[in-house]
Amino acid sequence: MPRPQKERKVQEPPKIQGMKPIGVPGQLLDKVVLLIDEYEAIRLSDYENLDHQKAAEKMGVSRPTFTRLIDKAHKKIAETIVGVKDLIFEGGNYSFIRNLVRCLDCGIVSAIEKNDSKFNDCPKCNSTNVVHLNKWFRNGQRCGKGSGFGGRHGRGKW
Ligand SMILES: [Zn+2]
């Protein structure tokens, strides 16, 4: 049995569940699964421009582990762009530091405390038509060392 992996710290859920190529019928596409901890590696290193050491500290992993994570993430993203595949964000071993809520009426996204499930009103328009983005990903946790490539995804809701 491999040693159980420590949960990686992820700042907040991705704001979307994945991305699709434009110009190809969706049913023809294979998918690539980007694990949530791989997504976080991209966010910290390529988006926030942190060096690998600082990014590793943010996620609570060693620098070599971080480098492996981001290498995998880059390969998967290249596979989606060049190989023309759906990119799905799910799975991995992580816990969110905070959660995000999107208002479905005005569209703004608010950050909330992780355990604040009582957040139900949009701070901008007071709508109660809000979605907690962490819920998208709850069931995807611990799906293991992700067979990241290939396969068609069965979800039709895009
Ligand atoms: Zn709103």
Q: Where are the domains of the chain?
A: 8-140
CA pair distance 88, 129, nearest whole angstrom:
25
CA of 101 to the centre of ligand 1 (A): 10
In this predicted structure, the answer to whether residue 148 has a pLDDT above a threshold of 50 is no
Output helix, strand, coil percentages for the chain, rounded to the nearest 5.
Answer: 30, 20, 50
pLDDT value, residue 156: 39
Model confidence, pTM:
0.81
Question: Which has more confidence, 144 or 37?
Answer: 37
β-pairing verdict for 86-89 and 18-19: antiparallel
Q: Which pLDDT tens digit goes with each residue over 115-134?
A: 776 778 888 899 999 998 98
Give the angle 115-49-36 at the CA atoms, nearest 5°: 40
CA of 51 to the centre of ligand 1 (A): 36
The CATH number given to 8-140 is: 2.20.28.10
CA pair distance 85, 31, nearest whole angstrom:
5
CA of 126 to the centre of ligand 1 (A): 6
CA of 24 to the centre of ligand 1 (A): 33
Give the angle 158-91-27 at the CA atoms, nearest 5°: 30
